[in-house]
Amino acid sequence: MKKRKLYSLVLLLLGAFQYATGQDLKLNDREYFEQQGVNVLVYNNLFTGGFNDEKNAGIELIHHGVRTAQGGAVRLSNTPEQWDLVPDILNRKVDRAAKTIEATLRYKEYNFDSRVVVTAKGKGVEIAVYLDKPLPKALEGSAGFNLEFLPSQYWAKNYLVDGRPNLFPRYVVGNTVTKPNSQKPKQYKGYVTSDDRGTGKFIDPLPLETGRTFLFAPDAPERMVKITSPDTDLMLFDGRMLAQNGWFVVRSLLPAGKTGKVLTWTIEPNAIKDWVREPNIGFSQVGYLPAQPKVAVIELDKKDKPAKSAFIFKVGDDGKATKVFSGAIKPWGDYFKYHYVKFDFSAVKTPGIYYIQYGGNKTNNFLIGDHVYSKITDATSDIWIPIHMNHMFVNEAYRVWHGEPFKDGYLQAPPNTDHFDLHAQGPTTDTKFKPLEVIPGLNVGGFFDAGDFDIETGSNISVVQNFVKTWESFKPLRDQTFIDQKQRYVDLHRPDGTPDVLQFIEHGTLNLVAQAEILGHMAQTLSNSVLDNYHHLGDAASLTDGLPYNPKLGPYEVAKDGRSSGVKDDLWAFTSREPELDLRAATMFAAASRALKGYNDDLSARALTQSKRLLKEATALMANQKQDTSGRGNAANMATNLQLYIATSEKQYLDRFQELLWPALERNVSANLLTALDAIPHLDASYKEKLRPYVVKYKEYIAGLEKNNPYGVPIGLTNWAGSGDVTAFGTTVCFASKYFPEIIDASHAFKATNYLFGAHPYHNYSLVATVGATRPKAVFYGNNRADFSFIPGNVAPGILFRKPDHFENYDDWPFLWGQNEGTIGGNTAYLIFGSAFKNLVK
């Protein structure tokens, strides 16, 4: 006991010493609290309401460069899950004189408002919650203030609660109780987030610890945080008890029957004295061709003094490193919170193994050689894509990635049904099928959308179009996958004599043609009917029981004939008709019909028939709708007419394509130029000359990117990171430089590969799983994300922007889809870019 008390005292003294060295937090011009090494953001990023708790909003702590805490808000449960209610933020007020930021939070479902006021207080902040009216009776004992901490930054670290030492668990272990479902606060749109298996009860985690003073990570100064409350208990929960994406939650309940200032916390993040963020040396982890431009982009803390030069070392045959090049560091300037400089080592051309030395920082090794880019798409085409083939058993050596999913098929979604993944069934089914009737024939072909197992029709349309473009532009004959539609079986690394891309086109087209023929138009999505299934992790074949739902049976009961069950696990077809989606499908069907001719002539003919029909019907439907001011409908119509002209040579489609093209280019040349370039091989020389001024405009767009950011590529600043924008940019450059080399320099394409493979903000890891010399990202958001792993070839959305000035990409925490989730649309777009890029550098 004496040893334990002495240990606690030592740790507390260590904490006191660290806090004494820090400076006071100040409210900066970007409206957050700041000192060197510590940023406290207060509702700079809001809960969106789209997917509710996305773990990137509220009160956030960026601690020595890493966002380690978020979600500070009044919440209605101990460990909120993703679809639990989040508050609307009615207003945000900044008072510089008082050093406060205040926000009003509302739960309209309970007519309940609270105000959260955050005030700079010495080396930390005070968080106070105010109520103008007492808590609603329904929320007594459930409403509390929560702040969530990133598990990967704290597990296996110590913490103290009122002096009692403990350890953050690496894997969730703790105690729970069950409570009647009637005691659970209302959830988002009434969805049940976890299956109670007929018990009528939900699981509620118990706190790991309770006290008035918490000291997190006294053994790790860069993560040490002190939290105190003078008037209420603090409780620590492990959110992973209910959901693998849960965080550690510090929580205090709001008192019943009180108004005014009802809760006060003080939070003091430790700031390491004279801390300066380590330089992020951005370079291509894949390596470089001998003759290509080679420029490292170095991201520096603004307190860091740039070095005057950097060095290239070559690793010799004897394993020893020799300095072979030194070059001057050239300033670029500031971009959001960091300062950037560049190091050009293009003069290094001898093939070999190298690393960069900048100041005291040495990078991992990389290659210079003639074939460094030759395999950049192999993992995506050989592994990631076939693993995402729906309605197939997918095997790899000794491993089964998933069995055959959804043998039970799809049910017609009932009218007026809202879906948790941003879809909805309108007032009618728009089909001949009755609500909850089995729709035969839809469980064929198609690709899982992303980390989930639904078929997003819009994504699958893009996917087939991407495959066709890859096939027609580059004719890749790579055959590393056995695909048998009759057996519904896929085996990786086993050639079957047919190019894989051609089989991928067939597989995607099978599902989409089935939708058009059976439903009469395209479904919005084929997706889960219950939320508990939607967030299923593991084998897709275990998501449902393989038996259609029978409402006449009791829960979990199986019919005597074994052909139906009382399990509500079937997927639904959301079939409200969207003419714009039909137009996009018509584009894809026209393109697929060409690629499939001579391989699957029956499917080719069916696809062309549906293309013509959907174009005609969708054009008529859109003419009767309100005018589309977004331009999306015209863009889809433009591409559809181009693909139909290429497939049929009928002049009517060419005329309509050109009618729509030129205004679209006037509106947005960067978004529409690639479609315009696709037409060049099929039209005459006059068309190419007419397109030339728009290519000149695109050159100006490229020049603007080089001034906008130090990487010279389009960087997305939304809730979905921008790797897709970078691949689209790279693809456009590849094709534009092919047709207009005198205008567009092909070297701009290297900026896209550099960014994807390591030259980007935050860290320098390759954003493509397993692609990179020694440091590709190791953790992705896929359907195996609970394993903290990856599926080879997955392309991460990338570097996510958090307002007002923070970029991030977690490589130790997979569960933020906006930065780590690969999608079938994004990864097949990468397949096009990779193919175009490899063709460019031959």
Active site positions, annotated = 812, 821
Instruction: Please state, in angstroms and rounded to a whole number, the distance separating the CA atoms of residues 773 and 352.
Output: 12
Q: What are phi and psi of 372, to 5 degrees?
A: -65, -25
Residue among 308, 301, 302 at smallest CA distance from 278: 301
For 520-551, the DSSP string reads SS--SEEEESSHHHHT--S-GGGSS-SS-B-T
Q: Which long-range contacts (CB under 8 A, 24 or more apart) does 396-400 make?
A: 396/491, 396/492, 396/493, 397/492, 397/493, 400/539
Question: In the numeric block, which tokens belong to residue 681?
Answer: 């091989």
The rounded Cα 220 to chain-centroid distance in angstroms is 30
Helix (H, G, I), strand (E, B) or coil at 409: coil
User: 591 Cβ partners below 8 Å, 6+ apart?
Assistant: 464, 465, 468, 469, 472, 643, 646, 647
Residue 555's CB: how many other CB atoms inside 10 A?
A: 10
The answer to whether 798 and 767 have CB atoms below 8 angstroms apart is yes
For the record, the structure tokens of 169 come out as: 């668990």
Cβ contact 695:740 at 8 Å: yes
- Strand 410-412 versus strand 571-574 pairing type: parallel
- Sorted by sequence, the CB contacts under 8 Å of residue 13 that are 6+ apart come out as none
d(CA 553, CA 435): 17
DSSP assignment string, 777-834: ----BSTTGGGS---TT-B----EEETTTEEE--SS----HHHHB--HHHHHHHHHHH
Q: Is residue 328 helix, strand or coil?
A: strand
| DSSP annotation of 383 | I
